[in-house]
Structure 1
Amino acid sequence: MSFVDKYIMPFANKLGNNRHLLAIRDALVGMIAITMIGSLSVLLTNLGQVPGIGKYYQNLMVSLFGERWNTLGSDIWWGTLAFMTIFAVFGIAHKLAKSYGDDGFEAMLVAAASFFVLIPQVANVSITPEGGEAVSGSMWGVISWNYFNATALFTGIIVAIVATEIFVRLAKVKYLVIKLPEGVPPAVSRSFAKLIPGMTTIFVIGLFGLLLRKFISDGAYLNDWINKVLVTPLTGAVDTMPFAILVVLLVHGFWILGLHGPNILGGITTPLMTKLGQENVNMYAQGVKDLGEYNVLAGSFLDAFVYLGGSGATLGLIIAMFIAGRKRNKQILALGTPPGIFQINEPILFGLPIVLNPIWFIPFILGPIIMTVVAYLSISLGLVHPVVADIPWVTPAIVGGLLATGGHISGAVLAAVNLVISVLIYLPFVIAVGRIEARKAKENTSTESTVN
């Protein structure tokens, strides 16, 4: 415990309180309504592809809304997931600026303008006139949607943080602040006060983009260059079993110490898995049939197949206690079961407790690691459909597996198998704890009798 207090706790607290990681995490969490309705629209549009029920579902929707019923889902997807990076830039800049005491409004707009400065104004297009041959060439004012969706999420995060840092620091330089007379409306006065910092920030970002294309990226814009040298290799490393195991190990290691593992690592893992998840959603929306094309460790993978009942798969612990320790854990089960069904497990983590309790270290960490391996192998081998929809983290176990895989029963089966695995891992420890408590109670009774 001395080692933990001296070396691990300070590092974990520092990482968890980093303003940049907090801004990323809070912004992406704040976008939950956008990502959820976007994923739901893709799910509803593509349920017609699910074997067995797909044909009946499609016939029902056609009979209710007509042949073009699926345009609603396409429209919602276009207005939400197709512009995810833009929403992230606004949200991260706003949250980060507020952490410095700024109101965040001007910083949000400046960051968005800085992002647009760094995307190309010309796109290669191909047009096929009716009855003619295809004509290809460059067209000004046409921007690929890949610069707005999750493909550009890393670029958006970097630009939002850098632009906001420059703007906030310049706004604190009193020589750059324009002060208007007292009679000027406050909104106008605030805007002019940050006029020079805002203009300077956008100019600096634009100059950086020009120098990057001239001297470093061989004419490539920032997002394309980042994808080439950073994101593609990093994403390739993310979608691997070792990385999945590492994330699960760190998350539960922090929890054992009483620290919220998902929140501490969320600023790092959320953008990576969100990007892979949105790639799956986009491929599913385009009707890609080859399961090998999809990412495995993507989107809601952990929520659907590993965090069953919350971190540590504590729904398995609850079931194990119902089986072998119901009488002595009545209060914990009464408090922990209802929220545990919806993936909320703080009553179990701190009430049992699991936190800083060495008896529960092994099953709490070992169970999720085994479940991660089983889930990863099941999807990578084609036994289970990949994750193609974003689900709320509070979605109950098994139901989450069904929805995350686009309504495929294989997802529900995998979640059920992992739930059984968690129960089997926790059960021996529940029995062992019962025996330990019974032995202690017997020793206490013997001691009291001797004293009397």
Structure 2
Amino acid sequence: MMNFIDKFIMPFANKLGNNRHLLAIRDALVGMIAITMIGSLAVLLNNLGKVPGIGKYYEKLMISLFGETWTTLGGDIWWGTLAFMTIFAVFGIANRLAKSYGDDGFEAMLVAGASFFVLIPQVANVSITPEGGEAVTGGAWGFIGWNYFNATALFTGIIVAIVATEIFVRLAKIKFLVINLPDGVPPAVSRSFAKLLPGMGTIFTIGLFGLILRKFISDGAYLNDWINKVLVSPLTGAVDSMLFAILIVFLVHGFWILGLHGPNILGGITTPLMTKLGQENINMYAQGVQDLGKYHILSGSFLDAFVYLGGSGATLGLLVAMFIAGRKRNKQLIALGTPPGIFQINEPILFGLPIVLNPIWFIPFILGPIIMTIVAYTSISLGLVHPVVADIPWVTPAIVGGLLATGGHVSGAILAFVNLIISVAIYLPFVIAQGRIEARREKGETSSQPTDTLNM
């Protein structure tokens, strides 16, 4: 088995985890955490008034403190953060990807941004109602729908950022396209002129592609609309499914068992997908959508809130199980692992127990999160638990994370608590079995000691 892993699985996992494009996507989206957190928090605070039971009291309190327009600040923050998520992603991905090629990333970032704007429609259908007249609808130049900037366009932004950066970096390596200025010119000016032609060539190429796409391929549709039609919509439908959720959880924990950081390896693939669905949930929640059936289930912070309780493998349940078993040998590990485990950091347990490359823990480490995923997905799909409508930091403690991710609904906290109990129940027999194995091993060593002494 170890030879098979070393020969076939490890090379593939390492190659996937070190892919420069996936790393650029992951690093850019993680680097936007301050933007997504404050935007999500603003949406959450603006919508706590919709929570059954406490909502009306919360809204009355906020009105009494800040007046009838108390949601204005939260709305402004949402508009400046989540409403423009794709723009931030384009700049961030281009910067990170260019740096992976040894470029400073500044010019590449700007060129990728310009390339993205080149592919956005310049005309929108606008409805205007003159005073005393009837509504008039027609095309108006200069109006851009915000759906071209928010998470709805995230896939398009990722593709454009990667393609534009790849073109720019390659053109910048062609010597006759590089303009070299005299030594007396300031370095910043010299660098800008050195990449002048590559930047212009990249934007021209992307613009020409967009024109060809509209004329001959997409029947007049711009890139984002065409991608959403032929790729994103079918893929998103596949992502928001229990089968995909189970697959992601299985792969993440399978990599961890091998000593590889599963979330980091798969983050370049899963983060954009779940972020897009999560932001759509946040937007619907901000708009007051009451029909829970319209919300996505596997979205945003779903796994952090309901599955990764204590970190990958739901190891907070393992710590509780070790405490219940009451073995003295586990006391030090419990003391070391519990404080970070409360905040979803479990490396002390993964490498200290260890779980990594330990066949004893293979089954509960993978089986537990899969069962928790099934329970969480089913509970939300049946309407027993409110969907995820807020982005929470991955270090948010268990149960509290379930409460916040669902917009303050107690059902989220109850689901997280139930899943924690499930993880404890799954880990406990293995903790007991591990204790018996170690006890027999110690007993065997003790019984062999006199014989060894006699033989000496």
TM-score > 0.5, shorter chain as reference: yes
Amino acid paired to 1:172 = K
Matched position secondary structure for 2:144: coil
Q: CA deviation at 1:204?
A: 0.2
Match of 1:174 in 2: 175
Within the alignment, does 1:188 sit opposite 2:189 as a pair?
Answer: yes
C-alpha distance in structure 2 between counterparts of 1:376 and 1:125, whole Å: 39
Amino acid paired to 1:68 = T
Pairwise mapping of residues 31-430 of structure 1 onto structure 2 (< 5 A)?
Answer: 31-430=32-431
C-alpha distance in structure 2 between counterparts of 1:383 and 1:129, whole Å: 47
C-alpha distance in structure 1 between counterparts of 2:348 and 2:60, whole Å: 45
C-alpha distance in structure 2 between counterparts of 1:76 and 1:129, whole Å: 31
C-alpha distance in structure 1 between counterparts of 2:127 and 2:193, whole Å: 45
User: Structure 1 vs Structure 2: percent identity of aligned residues?
Assistant: 87
Matched position secondary structure for 1:328: helix
Amino acid paired to 1:351 = G
C-alpha distance in structure 2 between counterparts of 1:176 and 1:314, whole Å: 55
Match of 1:438 in 2: 439
C-alpha distance in structure 2 between counterparts of 1:252 and 1:363, whole Å: 10
Amino acid paired to 1:255 = W
C-alpha distance in structure 1 between counterparts of 2:327 and 2:52, whole Å: 41
C-alpha distance in structure 1 between counterparts of 2:240 and 2:312, whole Å: 20
C-alpha distance in structure 1 between counterparts of 2:326 and 2:229, whole Å: 55
RMSD: 0.6
Q: CA deviation at 1:326?
A: 4.0
Q: Where do 5+ consecutive residues of structure 2 fail to align?
A: none
Alpha-carbon contact 1:325-1:431 (below 8 Å) kept: no
Q: CA deviation at 1:202?
A: 0.1
Q: CA deviation at 1:21?
A: 0.1
Q: CA deviation at 1:132?
A: 2.0
Amino acid paired to 2:259 = G
- CA deviations on 1:239-274 (whole Å, 9 max, x unpaired) are 000000000000000000000000000000000000
C-alpha distance in structure 2 between counterparts of 1:158 and 1:326, whole Å: 53
C-alpha distance in structure 2 between counterparts of 1:316 and 1:123, whole Å: 53
C-alpha distance in structure 2 between counterparts of 1:307 and 1:133, whole Å: 55
Note closer, same or farther for the CA distance 1:277–1:314 as it changes in structure 2 (3 Å cut).
same
C-alpha distance in structure 2 between counterparts of 1:94 and 1:38, whole Å: 23
Alpha-carbon contact 1:325-1:434 (below 8 Å) kept: no
C-alpha distance in structure 1 between counterparts of 2:391 and 2:167, whole Å: 34
C-alpha distance in structure 2 between counterparts of 1:408 and 1:25, whole Å: 30
Amino acid paired to 2:256 = W
- CA deviations on 1:352-391 (whole Å, 9 max, x unpaired) are 0000000000000000000000000000000000000000
Matched position secondary structure for 2:362: helix
- CA deviations on 1:366-419 (whole Å, 9 max, x unpaired) are 000000000000000000000000000000000000000000000000000000
- CA deviations on 1:194-249 (whole Å, 9 max, x unpaired) are 00000000000000000001110000000000000000000000000000000000
C-alpha distance in structure 2 between counterparts of 1:274 and 1:19, whole Å: 20
C-alpha distance in structure 2 between counterparts of 1:24 and 1:78, whole Å: 23
Q: CA deviation at 1:45?
A: 0.1
Amino acid paired to 2:403 = L
Matched position secondary structure for 2:248: helix
C-alpha distance in structure 2 between counterparts of 1:441 and 1:448, whole Å: 11
Matched position secondary structure for 1:289: coil
C-alpha distance in structure 2 between counterparts of 1:371 and 1:197, whole Å: 50
Q: CA deviation at 1:133?
A: 1.2
386-395 vs 124-133, greater mean Cα deviation: 124-133
Q: CA deviation at 1:56?
A: 1.0
Matched position secondary structure for 1:329: helix
Amino acid paired to 2:139 = S
Q: CA deviation at 1:170?
A: 0.6
Matched position secondary structure for 1:343: coil
Give me the TM-score of the superposition, normalised by structure 2: 0.99
Q: CA deviation at 1:131?
A: 2.7
Matched position secondary structure for 2:209: helix
Amino acid paired to 2:106 = F
Q: Where do 5+ consecutive residues of structure 1 fail to align?
A: none
Q: CA deviation at 1:331?
A: 1.8
Q: CA deviation at 1:335?
A: 1.2
Alpha-carbon contact 1:387-1:405 (below 8 Å) kept: yes
Amino acid paired to 1:352 = L
Q: CA deviation at 1:191?
A: 0.2
Amino acid paired to 1:371 = M
C-alpha distance in structure 2 between counterparts of 1:350 and 1:325, whole Å: 21
Q: CA deviation at 1:129?
A: 2.2
- CA deviations on 1:145-196 (whole Å, 9 max, x unpaired) are 0000000000000000000000011111111000001110000000000000
Q: CA deviation at 1:86?
A: 0.1
Matched position secondary structure for 2:124: strand
Match of 1:448 in 2: 449
Give me the TM-score of the superposition, normalised by structure 1: 1.00
